[in-house]
Amino acid sequence: MSDNAPGPSDQGTRERVAAALIGALFVGIALAILVSFVHDLSAGPVLAAVVIGGLGIEALLSAARNRRCLLSRIGPLP
């Protein structure tokens, strides 16, 4: 009997890859915010970049450490 369902380790690998990709996306968005507002470094854009970049870096580190990231713990938002 052949069971083609993904195993628990395969599911964990997919979650790690997804977390790493989303983390890289968030870091890229943070860099884009900083580049877009390079001449207007007021508190708003810098704070947004720090928060988004921090979440992205945390997701990358969590994927490397095989832990759930903060973004996955938030759950579905309304």
Per domain, the residue ranges of the chain are 20-69
- Of all residues in the chain, the percent with pLDDT exceeding 70 is 82
Query: Is pLDDT above 70 for 2?
Result: no
For residue 19, what are the contacts with CB-CB under 8 A and spacing of at least 6?
59, 60, 62, 63, 68, 69, 71, 72
Query: Is pLDDT above 90 for 43?
Result: no
Query: Is pLDDT above 70 for 74?
Result: yes
Q: What is the pTM of this model?
A: 0.77
